[in-house]
Chains A and B, each alone.
Chain A
Amino acid sequence: MIKKNNWKAWLYLGPVIILMAVFTFYPLISTIGIAFLKDYNYLTQSSKGFTFENFGVVLGLVGTEYQGTTYYMTDVVKYAIPNTLIIVFVTVPLSTIISLLIAVGLNSIPWFKKIMQTIFFIPYVTNAIAVGMVFAVLFDYQGIINFITGQMGTPWIDLGASQTRAMIALCVYIIWHALPFKILIFLSGLAGIDKQYYDAAKIDCASKFRTLTKITVPLLSPQILYVLITSFIGSFKEYTAVVGLIGRQGTSAGSKNMYTVVYYIYDTIGNNQVQYGSAAAVLLFLVILAFTALQFWVSKKRVYY
């Protein structure tokens, strides 16, 4: 009855395919290409041929020559990669656990459920830069957090702050901002769990903790996997949180100790060093790809559909 309508379908898909060809697929190939070009200049689109050096330069292994001296660019290895890894492995697990607890709590209370859900969702509809600036006021050396904890004058993120303290402030902000999306996803997952499982647990006098670990978490595993994959990818690419909260590359003048990998990539565009930026982007892509593949592999054993 329904006939194949090939050409018509391609007409409907036309806009999407053209736009994606220009702004998604071509850039993907082109960026990989640029990563292998020596001394590429995007203004003139000229280069000195094919090279593997860019990856070495990004990782601080190959030096670049400038007026007779060889410089090693170590910002990525020393700051960008460690910072990104800290963000990934601190904020993702913590925010996932906290939002899971909040979602389970919200799911079990009889009163104020709707209003609580709304409150917990508010951070989602805010501007990452704007709220980052609010957190900068909270974490000011004369700010409210120092006032409450009795350490007025010790900087968190202002010039002269230690890298550790700045990273703590950054992680707190990222976790705060990551909660609403995860809570919402978990809540929609919890709504789909059959009440029978909990009744069975009640008859067996299972403790609340056991119910959580043996029923809720396994039945919620598809949502947990989804949240983990999206937030791992997201935090590997963290950039706006740093710009919003700290607004510069480092906690002291000229320092780049607040660099993340993506921060570095964007900086290369302004410095006309996109071949290094491209190399870093390719490396980041490979890491994310490997990480996502690993999660899917683990999920085959751990996720119950």
Chain B
Amino acid sequence: MIAAPFGLALAASFALVLLSGAAAAEEPHAAPKIEAQSWSFNGPFGAYDTAQLQRGYGVYKQVCANCHSMRLLSYRNLGEKGGPQFSPEAVKALSEEIQVTDGPNDKGEMYQRPGRPSDRFRSPYANDEAARAANRGALPPDLSVMAKARPGGPDYIYALLTGYKDAPHGFELAQGMQYNVAFPGHQIAMPPPLIDGVVTYADGTKPTVDNYARDVSAFLMWAAEPKLEERHMLGARVIVFLFVLAVVMFLAKRVVWSNLHAKHDAKPRLDSPIT
């Protein structure tokens, strides 16, 4: 057979591909491995834990929001179904904590007013340049879709927030940088943001870095994917519908085609599969 040596060569190349994949995983500059966490929103029936999202918002507001914007979110989103579901009063109160520049009024002047639920989350800096100036040149990224913008998503955010360690011996850490096991390259400009007890939890959850990291990661996942619950619920219905329809179509097809087979003495399948 002409093809045999060729097939062998192909198989060898294929094995080489697999081996090279394994080798690449050990390269030092490859992205660190992110451990998967168990989230309430995982799986086809997963849903957000409302209390966790509320705690997570607290962590964002008191810690992250000092440097990170979330410009795609409005205060009204905090009261929506499938989210933290704060009461309308709470949403209104949260929005009124900020001052918003509005206008111009009928005299052509800009003015300050208290925030409304329809206002976007307040950004900590007026612009990117101001953000860099306040953070030694580093730009704290917007967190609106962060949970979808990094491989691993919420698992990565959790690993990053709990990943601050002392730099291993011989690791050259640049001026003002921190060592983080989860960050690609291990040098991150953000100082460790969470300390035990820095945010007060009203619902009795232990105020630990681990819980803060977990809660704020869940909150950021919701911020990035606010329609996840709706999607899972509709998905279940669509899948069940399609499954039933598939059974009906299969039976219909069989009945239609059996008209042909019934005329034969033997029972050969005319729609024989690919050979």
Chain A complexes with chain B? no
Measured CB to CB, the residues of A under 8 A from B are none
Measured CB to CB, the residues of B under 8 A from A are none
